[in-house]
Chain A
């Protein structure tokens, strides 16, 4: 089977630091691929390299077998790759609806939309409300509330809802449950499974081993800027995975990527 998103020989240096050291990466259609690794292993840089936020110094990225050269997250988004960043990428002073439709606003039909480029705020608010209700994370009473007035968990919910609503090929989630409580985390995990059931593959970056082992079809273990191995969560324990990513245990030749 052909990978939907594939990175080959990715290199990214920041000055003297090599964040990505000839790294390979493969995401298969319809799967949830977890990426785990110690702090500073280069997980975030890897994700940024395939989502357009960072342009790699060397290596190629292929989407559905075709090489792509993302210069910005806008390019990747146009290609159907949605990312929820750890920082959430929200404009605090703008409303929930404004944030969800940032960069892909809906214009009104007819003369007002075409000539005066007037936004269809009612429609955007309706869709935003619907997407948030789908997520079940919160009952939004005021979709025009500024994002800065939401709690951390609510903000994360909005960011995840945004990616789930618009991602058509790949959805990348960088620590999607980090700021969430137990119940809210459960909702996000259900949402991730729901997105997969729609046939959209997901890259999940997380430090939460129970979540990773529960959801992931495969686990990409990242260490020292490259892929150490890819393991099947059914064949390994959480302790094995932690041993691999911290270097306490080296994978055998068969396991190594």
Chain B
């Protein structure tokens, strides 16, 4: 080999130390905080949640700081909490789902109407509602994954379709709570209450908590969860690395449809009645996106934890109840929530800086 090509020999005298990663030492407090938040993105909403409970607890005293009030918050957020879990899954794949609330209402209407119009046993009607929710989710997923339409457009359309189908099918007819109680009590099963030392829980609250923890486990500790993050992070890279992008997206959208069906069932338990004009159909999507964003899940996908979405939903619930107990104008709630959304995204941008 000619000498000129032997340039590598010059490196032989170099230090043999190989590239190594610096420890967290010497980064200072801000650097360490940055790193901790980068690793645990749900920490910010948890801190905000605890701070909000503390402040309202100090101001309002035992009226707010009681097992009854605390569990009342859980009951009030159960529908949004379940929808936020669904929304979080979609947003982790870098999508967005505007149809979750409408789909939940449609599923609750199907559960009610199948029982009362066709005389189907309530348990089977609930199963039908869950199946139709899953099917609508599958259509969303197929359009996003195979036809490659933007999730925003697909679910914007699906939101209108589902909401209209809901009014057309139900003929805008509400099924009264007393009728359900007498003839099909199973539909209200998730509204079953039980008390533990002044704290009142419903089965819907239990379902929400089990769902959140189950999804948190699946996302953290199974291959499927890793694939959801990888697809949301960089779909091309995930595909080249051996992830079946289509299957992952389909599984997420179908699971989300199923969870919307569960949310529909939770709605019947919470309200007692089945109403096609429940506000969830119109604002459920925005409520769930709000919880997810406050929960620190990045709208660009691939970052965040589902616990964050749960904390986000609870933060909204704490603000609503706390401000109402304090006698404040309800508009203050929205003003504060709006501020929180912008603050949450600002923190997200800061965390995403990769110098952690």
Contacts and interface: CB of A to CB of B under 8 A. Distances in A.
A212 to B, nearest CB: 12
Contacts of A136: 18
Given A148-B354, A151-B19, A210-B5, A102 B11 contact: no
Interface in A101-148: 102-105, 107, 116-119, 121, 136-142, 145-146, 148
Given A102-B230, A142-B21, A186-B11, A117 B224 contact: yes
A43 to B, nearest CB: 17
A183 B233 CA distance: 31
A73 B230 CA distance: 16
Contact of A88 (B14, B237, B239): B237
Interface of B: 5, 7-8, 11, 14, 18-21, 23, 38, 217, 221-224, 226-227, 229-230, 233-234, 236-244, 302-303, 354-356
Given A90-B234, A119-B222, A154-B19, 10 more contacts: A87-B236, A91-B234, A98-B230, A99-B241, A102-B242, A116-B221, A139-B20, A182-B8, A182-B11, A183-B14
B308 to A, nearest CB: 14
B221 A119 contact: yes
Nearest to A89: B240
B256 to A, nearest CB: 19
Contact of B242 (A73, A119, A139, A183): A73
Closest 10 CB pairs of A and B: A103-B242, A89-B240, A105-B223, A91-B230, A102-B241, A91-B233, A89-B237, A138-B19, A148-B354, A89-B241
Contacts of A102: 226-227, 230, 238, 241-243
Contacts, number: 110
A141 B230 contact: no
Contact of A146 (B7, B38, B243): B38
Nearest to A52: B240
Contacts of B229: 91, 93-94
A92 interface: yes
Nearest to B224: A117
A93 B240 contact: no
A138 B242 contact: no
A146 to B, nearest CB: 7
Interface of A: 53, 72-74, 77, 83, 85, 87-94, 98-99, 102-105, 107, 116-119, 121, 136-142, 145-146, 148-149, 151, 153-154, 182-184, 186, 210
A85 B19 contact: no
Contacts of A107: 223
8 contacts: A91-B229, A91-B233, A93-B229, A121-B221, A138-B20, A139-B20, A141-B21, A182-B7
Contacts of B5: 210
